[in-house]
Structure 1
Amino acid sequence: MKKTFLNILYNAVYQIFLVLVPLITVPYLSRILGPKTYGIYSNVNNIVQFLMIFCTLSVSYIGMRTISQTRAFGNQQELTDAFWGLWYFQALAGLVTIILVVAVTSFCHLKYGNYLLLMVPYLISAQVDISWFFQGLAAFGRVVLKNTAVKLVSVVLILLWVKQPGDLWKYMLIMSVSTMLGSFVFWFDIHRYVGGPVKHFYKYQTTIKAIITLLIPQIATQIYTSLDKPILGLFQNSTQVAYYDNSQRISNMVLGIVTSISLVIMPKMAGEGKKEQRVILKKSLEATVMLGTMFAVIIMANTKEFVPFFFGHKFIPMTPLMFFFALTIVMIPTGGVFANQFALANHRDRDYALPVIIGAFLEVILSYFLDRLYGATGAMVAILITEFIVLLLRLWIVRDGYDFKYSFKEIPKYLLISVIVLAVGMILPPIVSSAFFNMVIKSIIMFLLYVGLMFLMKLDFNQDIIMLLKRFFTRG
């Protein structure tokens, strides 16, 4: 349990770092590039994010699960076979994807084609990314430290080289190359854990079946998490795309912190029996809902001041979008508990896949009608409806594998606490003249109120928090 907590802490610290980096770069870039130029980046970047799934072929999910189980029940040679045999699928798929992208972009006159070529290092980063191996080993410390160093270098280069809208190409190149270097650094340590390359793929037929089963939902997920911006761009100008993309940015940053729990718990769930999984699932769900609702209401209460302070006055029209997008911080991680931690860990790949496939079809249909009429607001409504439906499907489709009353017994209390805290945060008057310090003070008050109400309602999870704090300070 101590190692699990430390891994959650490692990953949470890294996700917080990923939040802090954009807190430096996004305000700077939104003012330097402006909504129109930033919208171009959003379009190209999300196309590349979609293409990256064809470079990885779901190997990250399969690899994390396989390495975790091999570590628990196998030997060193089996670990070597699993690593190399799985990465070969990824390497081959990445090579084919990169060649096709370069060929199509070079011979066809695509809109923003030159920018797309600058993002090819992103595809290379996906091809060589083996972070799933270290996550499967629960060696999160190495993942955190190496990526942190690369991110810091990219921040310095952005501040030094990106000075005007015409420097968009520099920003794209910095982001793509730094991401690629971040993937390469993992290879420096791989010899400590596995032997030399093997001459065969890993369980070819079984792995191919798993890849196909998981690739379909990954494509579906990307349709409504990455291609939603290019779809909006078909009907609206790049300014509307910039409003839509940036309104999600803070919520997506925080999502990384909340979903870090799933990233750590999934390998642990894969190596446990059903009795232990029942307890882990309940605790993980409560931790996820607690963090999700806490972050969501704090963001919602601060949105009106945050947008002009952080993005600039040109982005004020996106204020209501950012307010409602905070709901995804609750919906997506909650569904992830039952999808990533439960379904994937128990090889229920079809149960993992079906909700997002339905969600993709639903999002495309909703976007077609809403984006044309209502722009960024319509796109937001489409994604919120889609995420809510996907959440319900995730809960329903694996209902035979968990006890609903046992797992959700405390959840209504968290929702009540979040409503009370949000109401207080919305009616709190400005305490100081500085927008920044006013948001900090309001956030602290809301945090303390949330924690106070948790202990006032005597939630089961309180004892886990107390135990973890005691262990932390005792260790200190």
Structure 2
Amino acid sequence: MKRTFLNILYNAVYQIFLVLVPLITVPYLSRILGPKTYGIYSNVNNIVQFLMIFCTLSVSYIGMRTISQLRASGKQKDLTAAFWGLWYFQAIAGVVTIVILITVINFFHVKYWNYLLLMIPYLISAQVDISWFFQGLAEFGRVVLKNTAVKLVSVVLILLWVKNPADLGKYMLIMSISTMLGSFVFWFDIHRYIGGPVKHFYRLQTTIKAIITLLIPQIATQVYTSLDKPILGLFQNSTQVAFYDNSQRISNMVLGIVTSISLVIMPKMASESKQEQRIVLKKSLEATVMLGTLFAVIIMANTKEFVPFFFGNKYIPMTSLMFFFSLTIIMIPMGGVFANQFALANHRDQDYALPVIVGAILEVILSYFLDRFYGATGAMIAILVTELIVLILRLWIVRDGYDFKYSFKEIPQYFLISVVVLIVGMLIPQIVTSNFLNMAIRSFIMACLYFILMFWMKLDFNQDIIILFKNFFRRS
């Protein structure tokens, strides 16, 4: 458990770092580029994000799970065969995807074709990304340190070279090349763990079946997490797309911190007994709901001041969008506990796939009717309804594998606490003239109240928090 805690800590620190980086770049870029130009970036970036899944073919999920199960044997021969045999799928898929994209751009009149070409390094980064190998080995420290260095360089370059809306191409090139370099750096260490390339794929038929089973839900997920912006762009102007995209930005940053628990726990769940899984699942669910509800209500209470302070006055119309998008910080990680930690870890790939396939179909239908009439607000409603349905399906479809009463015993109390804290947060007046200090004070008061209510209700997870702090200070 000590190693698991350290991995969660490593990944949480990295996700916090990923939150801090946009806190520097997003306010700068939203003002420099403006809503219209930023909307172009959102459209192009989300198309590329969709194409990236065809470069990876779900190998990140399959690879992490496979390596985590093989690491117990400690045989380099097995790790070597698995790594190279799985990465070959990724390498070939990346080449095919990039060639198809370039061909389509050359033969058809594709909107924003020049920007799409600048984002090709993103696709190369997906093709050579082997972070899944180190995550399977639970070597999260290496993943964190290397990516942190690359991100810092990209921030410096953005601040130096992006000065006006005409520099959109420079911004895209900086982001895509830095991401590509971040993927390449993992190859410098791979020789410490495995031998030279092998001449065959890894368990060809089994892996192809797993790829197909997991690729379908990945495509489906991208329909309502990446293609939702281009779909909105079909019916509305780029300004509406910018409002919609940026209203999710803070929630998505925080989601990275909360879902980091699932990323670390999944390899552990894959190698544990059923009884141990039962305990880990309950603790993970409680930690996820606690962090999700805490972050969500803090964002909700500060939205009115945060939008003009962070994005600029031009983005004030998206205030209500950001308020309601905060609900995804609760729904998505909760579903992730049962999808990533349970279904994937136990090779229940079809149970992992079905909810997101249903979600994708529902999202397309809702977007078609809501986006054209209600713009960004309609797109937000479509996403929230979709995420709620996906969450319910994730809980329902694997109900035979976990004890609902045991796992959800104290979850309602977390929701009650969050409602009380949100009401108090909304009632806290403007204490100081500085918007930043006022939001910081409000957030601190809400966080303190949240934990006071937790301990007042004597929740089971309180003991884990106490042990966590005792171990931390003992090591210090």
Counterpart of 2:345?
Answer: 345
Amino acid at match of 1:390: V
The DSSP-based 3-state class of the residue aligned with 2:172 is: helix
Counterpart of 1:182?
Answer: 182
* Structure 2 CA distance for aligned equivalents of residues 449 and 192 of structure 1: 48
The DSSP-based 3-state class of the residue aligned with 2:71 is: helix
Counterpart of 2:104?
Answer: 104
Amino acid at match of 1:94: G
Question: Which runs of structure 1 show a deviation greater than 2 angstroms over 4 or more consecutive aligned residues?
Answer: none
Residues 369-411 of structure 1 show CA distances to partners (whole Å, capped at 9, x for unaligned) of 0001100000000000000000000000000000000000010
Residues 21-47 of structure 1 show CA distances to partners (whole Å, capped at 9, x for unaligned) of 000000000000000000000000000
Counterpart of 1:357?
Answer: 357
Counterpart of 1:428?
Answer: 428
Residues 267-301 of structure 1 show CA distances to partners (whole Å, capped at 9, x for unaligned) of 00000010000000000000000000000000000
Residues 340-375 of structure 1 show CA distances to partners (whole Å, capped at 9, x for unaligned) of 000000000000000000000000000000001100
Residues 36-81 of structure 1 show CA distances to partners (whole Å, capped at 9, x for unaligned) of 0000000000000000000000000000000000002452100110
Counterpart of 2:281?
Answer: 281
Which runs of 5 or more residues in structure 1 are unaligned? none
* Structure 2 CA distance for aligned equivalents of residues 176 and 360 of structure 1: 27
* Structure 2 CA distance for aligned equivalents of residues 161 and 107 of structure 1: 32
The DSSP-based 3-state class of the residue aligned with 1:199 is: coil
Amino acid at match of 2:373: L
Question: In the TM superposition, what are the counterparts of 1:230-269 in structure 2 within 5 Å?
Answer: 230-269=230-269
**Alpha-carbon shift at residue 104 of structure 1 (Å):** 1.2
What RMSD, in angstroms, separates the aligned Cα atoms of the two structures?
0.5
* Structure 2 CA distance for aligned equivalents of residues 372 and 382 of structure 1: 12
Residues 135-180 of structure 1 show CA distances to partners (whole Å, capped at 9, x for unaligned) of 0000000000000000000000000000000000000000000000
* Structure 1 CA distance for aligned equivalents of residues 463 and 9 of structure 2: 18
Counterpart of 1:452?
Answer: 452
Amino acid at match of 1:457: M
**Alpha-carbon shift at residue 108 of structure 1 (Å):** 1.9
Residues 304-344 of structure 1 show CA distances to partners (whole Å, capped at 9, x for unaligned) of 00000000000000000000000000000000000000000
Amino acid at match of 2:58: S
Amino acid at match of 1:474: R
**Alpha-carbon shift at residue 237 of structure 1 (Å):** 0.3
- Between 72-81 and 352-361, report the one with greater CA deviation: 72-81
Counting aligned pairs with the same residue, the percent is 85
Residues 239-284 of structure 1 show CA distances to partners (whole Å, capped at 9, x for unaligned) of 0000000000000000000000000000000000100000000000
* Structure 1 CA distance for aligned equivalents of residues 419 and 456 of structure 2: 15
**Alpha-carbon shift at residue 107 of structure 1 (Å):** 2.6
Residues 172-228 of structure 1 show CA distances to partners (whole Å, capped at 9, x for unaligned) of 000000000000000000000111111100000000000000000000000000000
* Structure 2 CA distance for aligned equivalents of residues 294 and 72 of structure 1: 36
The DSSP-based 3-state class of the residue aligned with 1:196 is: coil
Counterpart of 2:86?
Answer: 86
* Structure 2 CA distance for aligned equivalents of residues 280 and 102 of structure 1: 46
* Structure 2 CA distance for aligned equivalents of residues 458 and 236 of structure 1: 50
Counterpart of 1:335?
Answer: 335
Counterpart of 1:119?
Answer: 119
Counterpart of 1:5?
Answer: 5
Counterpart of 2:294?
Answer: 294
**Alpha-carbon shift at residue 102 of structure 1 (Å):** 1.2
Amino acid at match of 1:375: G
**Alpha-carbon shift at residue 109 of structure 1 (Å):** 1.7
Counterpart of 2:367?
Answer: 367
The DSSP-based 3-state class of the residue aligned with 2:261 is: helix
Amino acid at match of 1:96: V
Residues 78-114 of structure 1 show CA distances to partners (whole Å, capped at 9, x for unaligned) of 0110001000000000010011111211232211000
* Structure 2 CA distance for aligned equivalents of residues 348 and 324 of structure 1: 32
Counterpart of 1:132?
Answer: 132
The DSSP-based 3-state class of the residue aligned with 2:176 is: helix
Counterpart of 2:21?
Answer: 21
* Structure 2 CA distance for aligned equivalents of residues 272 and 437 of structure 1: 45
* Structure 1 CA distance for aligned equivalents of residues 6 and 446 of structure 2: 26
Counterpart of 2:198?
Answer: 198
* Structure 2 CA distance for aligned equivalents of residues 200 and 403 of structure 1: 42
Amino acid at match of 1:324: F
* Structure 1 CA distance for aligned equivalents of residues 438 and 355 of structure 2: 41
Q: TM-score, normalised by structure 2?
A: 1.00
* Structure 2 CA distance for aligned equivalents of residues 15 and 440 of structure 1: 20
* Structure 1 CA distance for aligned equivalents of residues 76 and 150 of structure 2: 30
Which runs of 5 or more residues in structure 2 are unaligned? none
Counterpart of 1:395?
Answer: 395
Question: In the TM superposition, what are the counterparts of 1:38-53 in structure 2 within 5 Å?
Answer: 38-53=38-53
Amino acid at match of 1:193: Y
* Structure 1 CA distance for aligned equivalents of residues 402 and 306 of structure 2: 40
The count of aligned residue pairs is 476
Counterpart of 2:142?
Answer: 142
Residues 101-134 of structure 1 show CA distances to partners (whole Å, capped at 9, x for unaligned) of 1121123221100000000000000000000000
- Between 22-31 and 99-108, report the one with greater CA deviation: 99-108
* Structure 2 CA distance for aligned equivalents of residues 79 and 400 of structure 1: 33
The DSSP-based 3-state class of the residue aligned with 2:391 is: helix
* Structure 1 CA distance for aligned equivalents of residues 75 and 189 of structure 2: 19
Counterpart of 2:376?
Answer: 376
* Structure 2 CA distance for aligned equivalents of residues 426 and 233 of structure 1: 33
1:36 aligns to 2:36 (yes or no): yes
